[in-house]
Protein backbone atom coordinates (compact mmCIF):
# COMPACT_ATOMS: atom_id res chain seq x y z
CA UNK A 1 0.00 0.00 0.00
CA UNK A 2 1.17 3.54 -0.80
CA UNK A 3 -0.36 6.15 1.53
CA UNK A 4 0.08 9.92 1.46
CA UNK A 5 -1.37 12.60 3.75
CA UNK A 6 0.01 15.79 2.19
CA UNK A 7 2.56 16.59 -0.59
CA UNK A 8 5.52 14.44 -1.64
CA UNK A 9 8.60 16.13 -3.11
CA UNK A 10 11.86 14.44 -4.16
CA UNK A 11 14.66 16.99 -4.40
CA UNK A 12 17.53 16.30 -6.77
CA UNK A 13 20.52 14.97 -4.81
CA UNK A 14 18.46 13.55 -1.95
CA UNK A 15 18.06 9.80 -1.56
CA UNK A 16 14.41 9.83 -0.53
CA UNK A 17 11.38 12.05 -1.13
CA UNK A 18 10.03 14.30 1.63
CA UNK A 19 6.42 14.69 2.70
CA UNK A 20 5.50 18.32 3.46
CA UNK A 21 2.71 20.87 3.09
CA UNK A 22 1.99 22.96 0.00
CA UNK A 23 3.60 26.10 1.43
CA UNK A 24 6.87 24.28 2.10
CA UNK A 25 6.82 22.82 -1.43
CA UNK A 26 6.41 26.23 -3.03
CA UNK A 27 9.08 27.72 -0.76
CA UNK A 28 11.66 25.15 -1.82
CA UNK A 29 10.77 25.43 -5.49
CA UNK A 30 11.03 29.24 -5.34
CA UNK A 31 14.73 28.75 -4.63
CA UNK A 32 15.24 27.24 -8.09
CA UNK A 33 15.78 23.67 -6.88
CA UNK A 34 15.46 20.76 -9.32
CA UNK A 35 13.52 17.61 -8.46
CA UNK A 36 13.26 13.98 -9.36
CA UNK A 37 9.91 12.43 -10.20
CA UNK A 38 8.09 12.08 -6.84
CA UNK A 39 7.12 8.47 -7.60
CA UNK A 40 8.75 5.87 -9.84
CA UNK A 41 6.12 3.22 -10.46
CA UNK A 42 5.00 2.11 -13.92
CA UNK A 43 3.52 4.94 -15.99
CA UNK A 44 0.66 4.24 -18.38
CA UNK A 45 -0.42 6.95 -20.82
CA UNK A 46 -3.92 7.13 -22.29
CA UNK A 47 -4.69 8.06 -25.89
CA UNK A 48 -7.87 9.52 -27.40
CA UNK A 49 -9.53 10.22 -24.05
CA UNK A 50 -10.17 13.83 -25.01
CA UNK A 51 -13.34 14.43 -27.01
CA UNK A 52 -11.63 16.97 -29.25
CA UNK A 53 -8.95 14.39 -30.18
CA UNK A 54 -11.65 11.98 -31.33
CA UNK A 55 -13.47 14.74 -33.21
CA UNK A 56 -10.24 15.72 -34.98
CA UNK A 57 -9.91 12.22 -36.44
CA UNK A 58 -13.38 12.55 -37.94
CA UNK A 59 -14.30 9.85 -40.46
CA UNK A 60 -10.83 8.31 -40.15
CA UNK A 61 -12.11 6.63 -36.97
CA UNK A 62 -14.57 4.65 -39.08
CA UNK A 63 -12.03 3.59 -41.73
CA UNK A 64 -9.32 0.95 -41.55
CA UNK A 65 -7.41 0.14 -39.43
CA UNK A 66 -9.75 1.62 -36.78
CA UNK A 67 -13.23 0.80 -38.21
CA UNK A 68 -14.91 2.38 -35.16
CA UNK A 69 -14.11 4.65 -32.21
CA UNK A 70 -12.35 2.78 -29.36
CA UNK A 71 -14.57 1.05 -26.82
CA UNK A 72 -11.78 0.44 -24.28
CA UNK A 73 -8.96 2.75 -23.13
CA UNK A 74 -5.99 2.94 -25.51
CA UNK A 75 -2.85 2.71 -23.37
CA UNK A 76 0.89 2.97 -23.90
CA UNK A 77 3.81 2.61 -21.51
CA UNK A 78 6.28 5.34 -20.59
CA UNK A 79 9.29 3.20 -19.55
CA UNK A 80 11.73 4.01 -16.77
CA UNK A 81 14.19 5.84 -19.05
CA UNK A 82 11.53 8.45 -19.79
CA UNK A 83 11.07 9.53 -16.16
CA UNK A 84 12.29 12.99 -15.18
CA UNK A 85 11.39 15.70 -12.70
CA UNK A 86 10.99 19.44 -12.24
CA UNK A 87 13.52 21.52 -14.24
CA UNK A 88 14.42 18.59 -16.49
CA UNK A 89 16.40 19.36 -19.65
CA UNK A 90 14.95 17.67 -22.74
CA UNK A 91 16.97 16.87 -25.86
CA UNK A 92 15.28 17.83 -29.14
CA UNK A 93 16.51 15.56 -31.99
CA UNK A 94 17.86 17.48 -34.98
CA UNK A 95 15.44 15.76 -37.36
CA UNK A 96 12.35 16.37 -35.19
CA UNK A 97 9.83 19.14 -35.98
CA UNK A 98 9.71 19.88 -32.25
CA UNK A 99 8.29 18.14 -29.19
CA UNK A 100 4.62 18.05 -28.21
CA UNK A 101 4.14 19.16 -24.60
CA UNK A 102 1.22 16.97 -23.57
CA UNK A 103 0.02 18.30 -20.21
CA UNK A 104 -1.90 15.63 -18.31
CA UNK A 105 -3.24 14.73 -14.90
CA UNK A 106 -1.35 11.81 -13.37
CA UNK A 107 -3.41 9.50 -11.16
CA UNK A 108 -1.19 7.76 -8.59
CA UNK A 109 -2.46 4.43 -7.25
CA UNK A 110 -2.30 3.77 -3.53
CA UNK A 111 -3.54 0.17 -3.52
CA UNK A 112 -3.40 -2.85 -5.80
CA UNK A 113 -6.32 -2.42 -8.18
CA UNK A 114 -7.93 -5.31 -10.08
CA UNK A 115 -11.45 -5.22 -11.53
CA UNK A 116 -12.35 -2.13 -9.54
CA UNK A 117 -15.93 -0.90 -9.66
CA UNK A 118 -16.30 2.71 -10.78
CA UNK A 119 -18.08 3.81 -7.59
CA UNK A 120 -15.16 2.51 -5.50
CA UNK A 121 -12.35 3.60 -7.84
CA UNK A 122 -11.29 6.77 -5.99
CA UNK A 123 -10.66 4.63 -2.88
CA UNK A 124 -7.65 3.25 -4.75
CA UNK A 125 -6.08 6.66 -5.44
CA UNK A 126 -3.21 7.95 -3.28
CA UNK A 127 -2.94 11.30 -5.01
CA UNK A 128 -2.42 13.26 -8.19
CA UNK A 129 0.43 14.99 -9.99
CA UNK A 130 1.12 16.92 -13.15
CA UNK A 131 2.64 14.96 -16.05
CA UNK A 132 4.32 16.53 -19.06
CA UNK A 133 3.85 13.60 -21.45
CA UNK A 134 6.24 14.45 -24.28
CA UNK A 135 6.19 13.10 -27.81
CA UNK A 136 7.67 13.81 -31.21
CA UNK A 137 4.69 14.78 -33.41
CA UNK A 138 3.33 11.91 -35.48
CA UNK A 139 0.02 11.13 -37.13
CA UNK A 140 -0.63 7.46 -36.40
CA UNK A 141 -2.24 6.31 -33.17
CA UNK A 142 -2.54 2.74 -34.43
CA UNK A 143 1.03 1.45 -34.66
CA UNK A 144 3.23 1.45 -31.54
CA UNK A 145 5.05 4.79 -31.30
CA UNK A 146 7.99 3.83 -29.09
CA UNK A 147 10.55 5.93 -30.96
CA UNK A 148 8.31 9.00 -30.65
CA UNK A 149 7.05 8.59 -27.05
CA UNK A 150 9.74 6.64 -25.17
CA UNK A 151 12.87 8.77 -25.55
CA UNK A 152 14.96 9.69 -22.52
CA UNK A 153 13.22 12.16 -20.15
CA UNK A 154 10.03 12.17 -22.22
CA UNK A 155 7.82 11.81 -19.13
CA UNK A 156 8.33 14.71 -16.72
CA UNK A 157 6.43 14.30 -13.46
CA UNK A 158 5.83 16.60 -10.51
CA UNK A 159 7.09 18.71 -9.01
CA UNK A 160 5.12 17.11 -6.18
CA UNK A 161 2.59 14.37 -5.62
CA UNK A 162 -0.54 15.89 -4.06
CA UNK A 163 -2.58 13.77 -1.65
CA UNK A 164 -6.10 12.87 -2.80
CA UNK A 165 -7.68 14.79 0.10
CA UNK A 166 -6.46 18.06 -1.42
CA UNK A 167 -8.13 17.40 -4.80
CA UNK A 168 -11.90 17.45 -4.37
CA UNK A 169 -12.82 17.54 -8.09
CA UNK A 170 -10.20 15.77 -10.25
CA UNK A 171 -12.67 15.74 -13.15
CA UNK A 172 -12.87 19.54 -13.18
CA UNK A 173 -9.23 20.63 -13.12
CA UNK A 174 -7.68 23.22 -15.39
CA UNK A 175 -4.73 22.01 -17.49
CA UNK A 176 -2.26 24.65 -18.65
CA UNK A 177 0.91 24.71 -20.73
CA UNK A 178 3.02 27.79 -21.44
CA UNK A 179 5.83 27.54 -23.99
CA UNK A 180 8.25 30.40 -24.65
CA UNK A 181 6.79 32.90 -27.10
CA UNK A 182 3.50 31.04 -27.60
CA UNK A 183 -0.04 31.75 -26.45
CA UNK A 184 -0.91 29.91 -23.25
CA UNK A 185 -2.61 26.56 -23.86
CA UNK A 186 -5.58 25.79 -21.60
CA UNK A 187 -7.91 22.82 -21.27
CA UNK A 188 -9.94 21.12 -18.55
CA UNK A 189 -10.29 17.53 -17.38
CA UNK A 190 -14.06 17.99 -17.69
CA UNK A 191 -13.66 17.52 -21.47
CA UNK A 192 -12.39 13.95 -21.18
CA UNK A 193 -14.42 10.93 -22.28
CA UNK A 194 -13.48 8.93 -19.20
CA UNK A 195 -13.05 10.69 -15.89
CA UNK A 196 -10.69 9.45 -13.19
CA UNK A 197 -12.98 6.82 -11.66
CA UNK A 198 -14.26 5.50 -14.98
CA UNK A 199 -10.73 5.24 -16.40
CA UNK A 200 -9.48 3.28 -13.39
CA UNK A 201 -12.45 0.93 -13.61
CA UNK A 202 -12.07 0.34 -17.35
CA UNK A 203 -8.30 -0.20 -17.18
CA UNK A 204 -8.38 -2.53 -14.17
CA UNK A 205 -11.01 -4.62 -15.92
CA UNK A 206 -8.19 -6.12 -18.03
CA UNK A 207 -4.98 -5.38 -16.08
CA UNK A 208 -3.79 -4.88 -12.51
CA UNK A 209 -2.39 -1.57 -11.33
CA UNK A 210 0.02 -1.57 -8.37
CA UNK A 211 0.69 0.94 -5.58
CA UNK A 212 2.83 3.79 -6.92
CA UNK A 213 1.79 3.24 -10.54
CA UNK A 214 0.70 6.31 -12.49
CA UNK A 215 -2.19 6.31 -14.95
CA UNK A 216 -2.46 9.52 -16.96
CA UNK A 217 -5.87 10.84 -17.87
CA UNK A 218 -4.47 11.68 -21.30
CA UNK A 219 -3.32 14.86 -23.02
CA UNK A 220 -5.90 17.21 -24.54
CA UNK A 221 -6.02 17.97 -28.25
CA UNK A 222 -3.87 20.76 -29.68
CA UNK A 223 -1.09 20.90 -27.09
CA UNK A 224 1.83 23.23 -27.91
CA UNK A 225 5.04 22.18 -29.66
CA UNK A 226 8.36 23.24 -28.13
CA UNK A 227 11.71 23.67 -29.87
CA UNK A 228 15.33 23.78 -28.77
CA UNK A 229 16.08 26.91 -26.76
CA UNK A 230 12.55 27.17 -25.38
CA UNK A 231 11.10 26.52 -21.94
CA UNK A 232 7.73 25.17 -20.84
CA UNK A 233 5.68 25.49 -17.68
CA UNK A 234 2.80 23.05 -17.23
CA UNK A 235 0.32 22.51 -14.42
CA UNK A 236 -2.84 20.69 -13.44
CA UNK A 237 -5.29 22.52 -11.20
CA UNK A 238 -3.63 24.62 -8.54
CA UNK A 239 -0.63 22.30 -8.23
CA UNK A 240 2.85 23.82 -8.12
CA UNK A 241 3.88 24.32 -11.78
CA UNK A 242 6.26 21.91 -13.47
CA UNK A 243 9.12 23.47 -15.43
CA UNK A 244 11.23 21.97 -18.22
CA UNK A 245 13.59 23.25 -20.89
CA UNK A 246 14.43 22.06 -24.39
CA UNK A 247 17.94 21.89 -25.84
CA UNK A 248 19.56 20.86 -29.10
CA UNK A 249 20.68 17.22 -28.89
CA UNK A 250 24.18 17.97 -30.24
CA UNK A 251 24.70 20.79 -27.74
CA UNK A 252 23.44 18.62 -24.89
CA UNK A 253 25.83 15.79 -25.76
CA UNK A 254 28.72 18.25 -25.99
CA UNK A 255 27.93 19.63 -22.53
CA UNK A 256 27.88 16.14 -21.03
CA UNK A 257 31.11 14.93 -22.75
130 vs 95: CA distance, rounded Å = 28
pLDDT by residue (tens digit) across 125-148? 999 999 999 999 987 666 658 889
Q: Is there a contact between 44 and 214 (Cβ–Cβ < 8 Å)?
A: yes
Confidence of residue 63 (pLDDT cuts 50, 70, 90): confident
H/E element, 166: none
- The residue extents of the domains of the chain are 7-256
- The CATH number given to 7-256 is 3.90.850.10
Q: Give CA angle at 187 (238, 152), nearest 5°.
A: 80
pLDDT of residue 48: 87
Q: Is there a contact between 83 and 239 (Cβ–Cβ < 8 Å)?
A: no
Q: What is the pTM of this model?
A: 0.93
Give the number of C-alpha atoms closer than 13 A to the C-alpha of residue 118, restricted to the C-beta side. 7
pLDDT of residue 257: 46
Reported for 143-149, long-range contacts at CB under 8 A and 24+ positions apart, including other chains, are 144/76, 145/76, 149/45, 149/76, 149/78, 149/82
The more confidently predicted of residues 14 and 139 is: 14
**Mean pLDDT of the residues in the chain:** 92
**Which residues, 6+ apart, have CB-to-CB distance to 140 below 8 Å?**
none
The answer, yes or no, to whether residue 29 has pLDDT greater than 80, is: yes
Amino acid sequence: MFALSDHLLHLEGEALPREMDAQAVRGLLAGGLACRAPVTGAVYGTLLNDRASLDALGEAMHARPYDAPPEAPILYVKPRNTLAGHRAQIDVPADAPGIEVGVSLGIVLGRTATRVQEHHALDYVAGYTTVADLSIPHASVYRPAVRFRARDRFCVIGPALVAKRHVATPDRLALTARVTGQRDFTANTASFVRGVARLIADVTDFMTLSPGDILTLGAPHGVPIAHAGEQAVVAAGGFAPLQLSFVDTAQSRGARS
